[in-house]
Structure 1
Amino acid sequence: MIRLLFIYILCMVSGLSAAAQETIELTGEWAYSVGDSTQYNDYVTLPGTVPANEKVWLSKSVYVPQTWEKKHVTLFLERPLGETTLFVNGQEAGRQTSLIIPHQYDISDYLVPGQRNKIAICVNKGIVGLMGLKTQSKKLYIDKWTMRPDIQMGLVHQTFNIGGTKRLIGGDVLYGDVWQIGHEDKQPIEWGNYLEDRQMSITAFLGNETYLWDEFRPRLYGICATLGNEYQEKKFGIRMFSVNSGQLCINGCPIWLNGMVEDGSRFSETGYPPMDEDTWTDIFKKCEEYGLNYMRFRGYCPPEAAFAAADKIGFYLQTDSCGETELQQMMETYGHHPSLMMLTPYSAVTQRIQELGPWPAFPDTKEVRDKLRDNGMAYQAELFMMASGKQQTLRYKDEIEQNLRDKDKAGFLMPSFSPYAKAEEWREFCSPVVALAQFPKYVYANTDSLIVPVGIYNAMYGEIQNTRTAFYISDDSMKVKTGGILSVGKIPVAKNVAAGTVCFPLDSIKKPERLSLVVTVAGKLKNKWDFWVYPTDSVETVDVPQDICITDTLNAKALDVLKNGGKVLLTARGKVQYNGREALGTYIEQSHPLFKYDFPTDMWANRNWQELLDGSLAMDLTALPKDYLSPIQPIDQPETCRKLGMLVEANVLKGKLLVTTMDIANGLDRRLVARQMRKAILSYMQGDDFKPVITLQPQTVSSLITK
């Protein structure tokens, strides 16, 4: 079990934005050289990366005003992309290795005020974020500022580490104000007291009512501190993250962390995460649109801008650390952000937060389109993306709903991904309030009754009062078959709160049909599930027409039928030798005449296809005419984009052949979908629609199966 570290508030003064500080920005053009050479013969613009994947030297000449002679000067580099070694006017001023916090160097003793000073930095890859020199009083300045909240008393206890050459005396006081962001009223803070080891303490009273922070009410405070002529201002939030009898709670209210893993892959174009707050705000708001409230940064720590954005909109963050030193650095630098909820050892798995997927979808890129064109599938890129995207959504829907029902799970994590579904559709099964229907199966005979328990997942900040939960069942034409009210009352904050059971006899369904169960909560929120109903024809009714030869091998009898102009159905399930990688879904050509013979289908392999596809292998159709496509087409991996198929029809010798790798021969008394597909194929082969468009030799047909 991974032990999570719960953060309250801890912060360190940093950055270049504090008032009453003189600053010099170091952004812009820098000279640079690659490797160990310090012959600067090229230039690069910082912040940013350098055009070399190795150690580089960066150099810049900076004029330092004469007025800085009595100042404490710090070089601030927000996010170096590697270890830095600093030289000022030819003297080594230090070395820092952190990849997660700013590099800050005290260069007061290396600068010569009133003239230009040379700053040289050795670093890998570059430097991003804020870059500059900042000043404080050399006699007395705030070096570090930490906070500890007392939520019950409405206080924030603070400790300040004081730097400078001056000896602390009783007249050196530290004071400030605290206020709720968005309100003008400020509460003066008590005067500071001198402690040992150059420390001062101060207590901030938060007013008669403490405003707590969470995802629904992201309320922040502002606080300022003044020491002499130095003024510092910060934003922070108050919240309590705890575990109560195995349940995660924030401010005493149960929560579940439903989020995604951010591993940096989305920033491959730049090679580093965004350093601005607006971009992170867009990222977190997009996650919220899809019902997520949490992000884990795997293998790295985001910059200050990410925490600031998450604080404002109410989004929970977790970061990884590599050890005790790095963990302490993160706490000191980012701990005042209420959005920082957890720190975990590098890449460790939190057992009670389930990791979902990954379920990839087919990419639509130029390289993939070129491969599809070369293999005769030029126009299918978007179709493949849609079909695989639909399947991706269904798989995540199943996993998420299972997680929302499981009271032992503290939440879930999805891999970093770009969902195919629109946010409105996704939020039906992933949001703070979700209707849950626990189907025992999704394929029914019309002699069955649909019996489905319904529950509600409520992760809002309180119970929902006077709520009506209702349902209806409709067909593809939106005709309502039945409906009703399941329950009326309050819904507590909990998982899978029982709301009733849907019961519906299916004997009124006389032909194969897809139906949809829709459950609504409070008339606004809804969730939907498709299920299929097939008639209960016995196996004997799946008659074999006399003019169709059914075989599982292209044997002499089958060839003789073809020579005489007959029809052959070749069921090759289990015979195929081709064994490619797992498909990314299956594209179904809905307009193919086969499917009008009482086999309702989508353009993708929905749940009703699972019975037909499980255990069945695809045929590699590369050797067939380039323009021929199977109506049942597994989607190959984008690296190869092979043309695959599970059903091929062709003119062979003087007859007509249909070959399929789906199992439509075994267990038809219990496999309703397979039985219906067999009937549809036989009816199709008997009708006028069976007109194969390609002609193949028997050996070519055999090679589809044996190669």
Structure 2
Amino acid sequence: MRNSVDDLSHKATKPTKFFFLQVRYILSALCAFVGKKSLIIFLLLLFSQITFAQTNDDTISLAGVWRFSMDSADKGVQQKFYEKILPETIPLPGSMVQNGKGYNVTIHTQWTGSIRDSSWYFDPAMAKYRQPDSLKFPFFLTPKKRYVDPAWYQKTITIPTNWKNKHIILFLERAHWETQLWVDNRRIGMRNSLSTPQVYDLTGILLPGEHILTIRVDNRIKAINPGPDSHSITDQTQGNWNGIVGKIQLRATPKVWIQQIQTFPDLKDKSVQVKLFIHHDASHREDGKIILFAKSFNTSVKQTILSLTKDIIVSDKDTIVEINYPMGNHPLTWDEFHPALYHLTAEVSTPAGKDIKETDFGMREFGIRGTRFTMNGREIFLRGTVENCDFPNTGYPPMDVKSWLRVFKICKSYGLNEMRFHSYCPPKAAFEAADREGFYLHVEGPSWANHGSSLGDGKPIDKYIYEETDRIDQFYGNHPSFCMMAYGNEPRGGHQVEYLNKFVDYWKARDSRHLYTGASVGMSWPWVNEEQFIVRSGPRGLPWVEEQPSTMFDHRDALKGHDIPYVAHEMGQYCAFPDFSQIPEYTGVHEPRNFELFRDILATHHMSDEAKKFLHASGQLQALCYKGDIEAALRTPGMAGFELLGLNDYTGQGTALVGVLNVFWQSKPACRQGRGYVTPEEFRRFCSPVVPLARIPKFVYHNNESFNAEIEIANFSEGIINSAHPVWQLKDKSGKMIASGKLPETNIPIGNCISLGEVTYPLNQFSKAEKLHFSVSIAGTSYKNGWNIWVYPDKNISPADSSQIYYCHQLDKKAEDILKKGGKVFLLCAGRVEMGKNISMHFLPVFWNTSWFNM
């Protein structure tokens, strides 16, 4: 049998008489409902799927129409649904909400997630949005249907005769959440992984012939409570859906078969340690042999590694075989710049038959040197974003590689090289795409054990986290992109430190391919001493509330006393105005009623025509703040990186529009001929492997002052930049050159805080107010960064000029008359604002949003 560690090709079963009766019943119903023309299209799609599926004798695809029943009263087990023919149908893979199953959302819907600001439920101004026919929630997107209870899925299958005496499993790539399985009338068991495939061993149960599979899927939070705001289950992001997605298959192997392959690259030894977990269903000894074979891909350099053969004896039910497999004299390494991969085939041959497993891996070593991460011995700097399982049109993460390649390519176009998955783990497709793109992944267990849950207090979640991270390592551990892992996000619990210290120790001893931390947290959480790196909110933020904007500051004080890598947790969270042009993009399971509500409020205040201007202005400020935060991180000695929150928007928790991209990873068009308010090219100037930096004490000057900047650079490219020629320029707003100069030629090593020199320029030539642009670049490269400065004449407003200004505390009739005549009005509103007075206003944008945090 040929298959990968967790992926196989498809095969359909042979139709049976019962199958044809089912089809006739379904087609008759469809014909009556949709008409003959639509039915013909459906048939073409159905049979093209069946034809495509017949490709492998050892795999049966179960994709297609299943019988179905809801069970909101939770009586299905008691009433033995598994003994009945379920009355409805549903296509799988898919979710209930994708297929219009479930209940309509109402004001009484009990959400999976916290609602911090409940004023919507009793605010008179929101009364019209609480009506059944016009419900518009501001908290998050609204699902078209919702169902949080057991649901039953059933399918009749036929096991071919050549599967007799084979090991057989049922493979459910991603079920949400707990499944129970019956074969015919026999209960097989329960599985409950939120992060990995759910697998049932059906050896000796699925004998050749016809059987009925019945699966009960339950998406309620029960004894195991990850926390209702965990992105693995919450309505804040993907939604608490019910269904099964990805591959749904039966798989057959010989009774001596490879259960798992682990690959441990060793760059120094130019080899990979291959660990094979071989399972034996029989009780007698089997003699056999293993053949390993590898070849390179995802690179222009083609390598075929010499195969290796080893004799083995399989006498126990579970046998572990470890083989040191030489990779030749010049193995290709994997990193963000050159993500070369190898495809490994392992073949086990015994009298029971031949089993072939395949897996991909990269020759890479992710490590630590002081306070920095290293990749293959070279220091790197993490430029990351947080991915929150926010996929509105499906309600669950993409199960295909193409969709994830799109996401990672977009992230790379904005200069990023890393992604943290907040309180959830993505499917295999994400790891495969990140492998190909050279993108570093920080995965988490499926838990934000807070807001009704806790960690380390002896609850079932404590054991579940170990079980779940074990499964994550089993299914995804070989992927070179899998670099870091944590339990999850910001836990609650009086014993969390003891728990997380043990958790980190467990994983340090178990698998050295990845690095481990306890949790991603804010500054109020206790410290976990055993963690290998820190993800905490200390080294982030702009001090521009208390002082005028500048680029002189960094975060070295936050790093004092820490001798391991420190990554800034959820950097940014700067809000922009809603982009109403994205509303038509919501074509799937979630509706943007929150955006519609915000748009209505704007219209009520007669400002609909200002929406794009508000988006552009707030977006420009947002981008400026992300630039300031990222540059401060790059100026900080020894800092290991940052994880933005985020490059794209977050549609939950009150609607946090913190991305320069919308939730679909698209730019937000705003008064720039369809372009976003910050382009990938503009963003990469301050967020990329090499970034010129300037320490500038302020951005506003009088013309009797001199502009001064201390120039430095951060270089986290492939290596030293030899014979670099730094240059600087000062231009006016039209692009006209005012002044330019060269800094000394130098070799730029890997690292940051590398001084390139100083620039001083007198501003006395400017007799009127001017906006100027100062830039620094490395000649002959794309490395360039810049900052705007403003110069004003050094004079005060005379009393005569001041007398021409009308000062007032409200926009009264006199003020309106003066404005209509082209006069000047100074409106003083301090202390007199009523609406929004609980929101502190200053130069920085709103943090996250005011519904989740009162500021």
Q: TM-score range by the shorter chain?
A: 0.7 to 0.9
Is residue 169 of structure 2 the alignment partner of residue 44 of structure 1?
no
What residue identity is the alignment partner of 2:611?
A
Distance 1:553 1:196, change over 3 A: same
Report the alpha carbon displacement of residue 164 of structure 1 after superposing the two structures with TM.
2.8
Distance 1:547 1:16, change over 3 A: closer
Task: Provide the rounded CA distance (Å) in 2 between the counterparts of 1:440 and 1:451.
Answer: 8
Task: Provide the rounded CA distance (Å) in 2 between the counterparts of 1:568 and 1:467.
Answer: 52
What is the 5 A alignment of 1:240-319? 240-265=365-390, 267-319=391-443
Aligned residue in 2 for 1:466: 723
| Residues 228-258 of structure 1: CA deviation (Å, up to 9, x unaligned) | 2222221111211111122211111000111
> Could you tell me which of 202, 205, 223 is aligned with 1:107?
202
Task: Provide the rounded CA distance (Å) in 2 between the counterparts of 1:100 and 1:438.
Answer: 44
Distance 1:174 1:470, change over 3 A: same
Aligned residue in 1 for 2:226: none
Aligned residue in 2 for 1:673: none
Task: Provide the rounded CA distance (Å) in 2 between the counterparts of 1:555 and 1:251.
Answer: 64
Q: Secondary structure at the match of 2:467?
A: helix
Aligned residue in 2 for 1:22: 58
Report the alpha carbon displacement of residue 440 of structure 1 after superposing the two structures with TM.
0.4
Q: Secondary structure at the match of 2:164?
A: helix
What residue identity is the alignment partner of 1:13?
V
What is the 5 A alignment of 1:576-595? 576-580=832-836
Distance 1:64 1:504, change over 3 A: same
Aligned residue in 1 for 2:788: 530
Task: Provide the rounded CA distance (Å) in 2 between the counterparts of 1:379 and 1:356.
Answer: 32
> TM-score if structure 1 supplies the norm length?
0.76
Task: Provide the rounded CA distance (Å) in 2 between the counterparts of 1:301 and 1:186.
Answer: 32
| Residues 536-577 of structure 1: CA deviation (Å, up to 9, x unaligned) | 11x4x5223596475556899x99x99xx9989555253523
Report the alpha carbon displacement of residue 161 of structure 1 after superposing the two structures with TM.
2.3
What residue identity is the alignment partner of 1:33?
S
> Could you tell me which of 341, 352, 356 is aligned with 1:220?
341
Of 372-381 and 158-167, deviating more is 158-167
What residue identity is the alignment partner of 1:85?
Q
Task: Provide the rounded CA distance (Å) in 2 between the counterparts of 1:220 and 1:253.
Answer: 19
What is the 5 A alignment of 1:70-469? 70-113=165-208, 115-124=209-218, 125-138=242-255, 140-166=256-282, 169=285, 171-181=287-297, 183=302, 185-194=304-313, 197=316, 198-228=319-349, 229-265=354-390, 267-321=391-445, 323-347=465-489, 348-349=519-520, 350-351=535-536, 352-354=566-568, 355-365=570-580, 367=596, 368-416=598-646, 417=648, 418-419=659-660, 420-469=677-726
Is residue 70 of structure 2 the alignment partner of residue 34 of structure 1?
yes
Distance 1:545 1:200, change over 3 A: closer
Report the alpha carbon displacement of residue 208 of structure 1 after superposing the two structures with TM.
1.1
Does the CA-based 8 Å contact 2:263-2:361 persist in structure 1?
no
Task: Provide the rounded CA distance (Å) in 1 between the counterparts of 2:811 and 2:411.
Answer: 57
| Residues 129-173 of structure 1: CA deviation (Å, up to 9, x unaligned) | 0011010012x2112222333321122222322223445757411
Does the CA-based 8 Å contact 1:403-1:411 persist in structure 2?
yes
What residue identity is the alignment partner of 1:242?
G
CA RMSD of aligned residues (A): 3.0
What residue identity is the alignment partner of 1:208?
N
Does the CA-based 8 Å contact 1:80-1:128 persist in structure 2?
yes
Report the alpha carbon displacement of residue 179 of structure 1 after superposing the two structures with TM.
2.2
Distance 1:186 1:148, change over 3 A: closer
Task: Provide the rounded CA distance (Å) in 1 between the counterparts of 2:811 and 2:487.
Answer: 62
| Residues 428-476 of structure 1: CA deviation (Å, up to 9, x unaligned) | 1111111111110011111111110111111101011121110110111
Task: Provide the rounded CA distance (Å) in 2 between the counterparts of 1:535 and 1:313.
Answer: 51
Distance 1:373 1:550, change over 3 A: closer
Q: Secondary structure at the match of 2:687?
A: coil
Q: Secondary structure at the match of 1:242?
A: strand
Aligned residue in 1 for 2:545: none
Does the CA-based 8 Å contact 2:283-2:315 persist in structure 1?
no
Q: Secondary structure at the match of 2:800?
A: coil
Task: Provide the rounded CA distance (Å) in 1 between the counterparts of 2:174 and 2:811.
Answer: 70
Distance 1:477 1:555, change over 3 A: closer
Distance 1:223 1:446, change over 3 A: same
Task: Provide the rounded CA distance (Å) in 2 between the counterparts of 1:74 and 1:546.
Answer: 84
Aligned residue in 2 for 1:13: 5
What residue identity is the alignment partner of 1:236?
F
What residue identity is the alignment partner of 2:65?
E
Of 103-112 and 149-158, deviating more is 149-158
Task: Provide the rounded CA distance (Å) in 1 between the counterparts of 2:719 and 2:823.
Answer: 66
Task: Provide the rounded CA distance (Å) in 1 between the counterparts of 2:824 and 2:7.
Answer: 77
Does the CA-based 8 Å contact 1:512-1:534 persist in structure 2?
yes
| Residues 340-385 of structure 1: CA deviation (Å, up to 9, x unaligned) | 0000121122132113120121112262444333322222221111
Distance 1:280 1:168, change over 3 A: farther
> Could you tell me which of 48, 62, 65 is aligned with 2:157?
62
Task: Provide the rounded CA distance (Å) in 1 between the counterparts of 2:199 and 2:631.
Answer: 47
Q: Secondary structure at the match of 1:172?
A: strand
Aligned residue in 1 for 2:498: none
Report the alpha carbon displacement of residue 422 of structure 1 after superposing the two structures with TM.
1.1
Distance 1:515 1:93, change over 3 A: same
Q: Secondary structure at the match of 2:168?
A: strand
What residue identity is the alignment partner of 2:277?
N
Distance 1:270 1:68, change over 3 A: same
What residue identity is the alignment partner of 1:220?
L
Report the alpha carbon displacement of residue 505 of structure 1 after superposing the two structures with TM.
0.4
Task: Provide the rounded CA distance (Å) in 2 between the counterparts of 1:519 and 1:117.
Answer: 71
Aligned residue in 2 for 1:698: none
Does the CA-based 8 Å contact 1:192-1:200 persist in structure 2?
no
Distance 1:329 1:566, change over 3 A: closer
Aligned residue in 1 for 2:830: 574
Aligned residue in 1 for 2:799: 543
Does the CA-based 8 Å contact 1:12-1:146 persist in structure 2?
no
Q: Which has the higher strand share?
A: 1
| Residues 625-665 of structure 1: CA deviation (Å, up to 9, x unaligned) | xxxxxxxxx9xx999xxxxxxxxxxxxxxxxxxxxxxxxxx
Does the CA-based 8 Å contact 1:21-1:230 persist in structure 2?
no
Aligned residue in 2 for 1:625: none
Does the CA-based 8 Å contact 2:184-2:212 persist in structure 1?
yes
Distance 1:448 1:143, change over 3 A: same
Task: Provide the rounded CA distance (Å) in 1 between the counterparts of 2:303 and 2:280.
Answer: 34
Aligned residue in 1 for 2:743: 486
Structure 1 residue runs without a partner (length 5+):
1-10, 586-609, 616-633, 640-707
Task: Provide the rounded CA distance (Å) in 2 between the counterparts of 1:584 and 1:422.
Answer: 30
Task: Provide the rounded CA distance (Å) in 2 between the counterparts of 1:164 and 1:195.
Answer: 7
Does the CA-based 8 Å contact 2:810-2:829 persist in structure 1?
no
Aligned residue-pair number: 574
Does the CA-based 8 Å contact 1:86-1:122 persist in structure 2?
yes
